[in-house]
């Protein structure tokens, strides 16, 4: 509370931002965003590291910059959904995607266990925010983006499993973000 109270309006606005960068080295622009703009988070992509060990070093270096700047610890986020969307494949547990979890004999238990493993692995690397679970309903067979990232085509079943995933992240003391925007499962074009 004291840190936020001493922030300017611009710095408080910075706390609402999450930024990315290119390459494996922390760029001067990123460091400036943390030190001067007080950004609240950094999203990590697979281009930012080579394996789990380099992810851990990067996370520690980013948090050290935030600490030196006397700002709040950063939200370090990553897309580690499992299945087709895994940013850390070397040195972290690679788990099945949502559709595969939904197809197991006990989908609820599979989702709980998958989330617990993911949260454990990411926390050990210094990452504190998973941009998962995918909450899209896979109701368009020609969708080029969602496919098996979804828990399925039944909205009620998807909602139930997304709820279990979100609660499991909370139980693990880990941040998550259900994504994407409503209706994304029905698109026939690449939304990127």
- Note the maximum CA span of the chain: 53
Q: What is the pLDDT of residues 63-120, one digit of tens each?
A: 999 999 999 999 999 999 999 999 999 999 999 999 999 999 999 999 999 999 999 9
Q: What is the pLDDT of residues 15-58, one digit of tens each?
A: 999 999 999 999 999 999 999 999 999 999 999 999 999 999 99
To the nearest 10°, report the CA torsion of 67, 70, 72, 75.
-40
Tell me the C-alpha distance between 176 and 179, whole Å: 10
Contact partners, residue 52, CB within 8 Å, separation at least 6: 88, 90, 91, 92, 121, 125
pTM of the model: 0.93
Tell me the C-alpha distance between 15 and 71, whole Å: 9
pLDDT of residue 170: 98
Direct distance between the N- and C-terminal alpha carbons of the chain, in angstroms, rounded to an integer: 37
Tell me the C-alpha distance between 123 and 169, whole Å: 11
DSSP code at position 50: S
């Amino acid at each position: 509370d004291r840190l936020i109270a001493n922030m300017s309006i611009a710095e408080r606005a910075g706390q609402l931002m999450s930024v990315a960068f290119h390459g494996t080295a922390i760029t001067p622009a990123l460091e400036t965003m943390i030190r001067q703009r007080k950004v609240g988070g950094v999203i990590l992509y697979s281009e930012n590291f080579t394996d789990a060990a380099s992810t851990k070093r990067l996370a520690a270096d980013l948090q050290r910059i935030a600490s030196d700047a006397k700002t709040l610890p950063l939200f370090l986020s990553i897309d580690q959904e499992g299945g087709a969307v895994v940013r850390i494949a070397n040195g972290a547990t690679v788990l099945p995607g949502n559709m595969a979890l939904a197809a197991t004999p006990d989908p609820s238990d599979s989702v709980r266990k998958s989330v617990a493993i993911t949260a454990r692995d990411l926390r050990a690397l210094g990452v504190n925010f998973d941009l998962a679970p995918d909450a899209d309903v896979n109701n368009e067979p020609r969708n080029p983006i969602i496919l098996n990232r979804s828990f399925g085509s039944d909205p009620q079943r998807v909602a139930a499993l997304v709820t279990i995933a979100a609660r499991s992240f909370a139980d693990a003391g880990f941040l998550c973000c259900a994504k994407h925007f409503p209706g994304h499962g029905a698109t026939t074009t690449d939304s990127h």
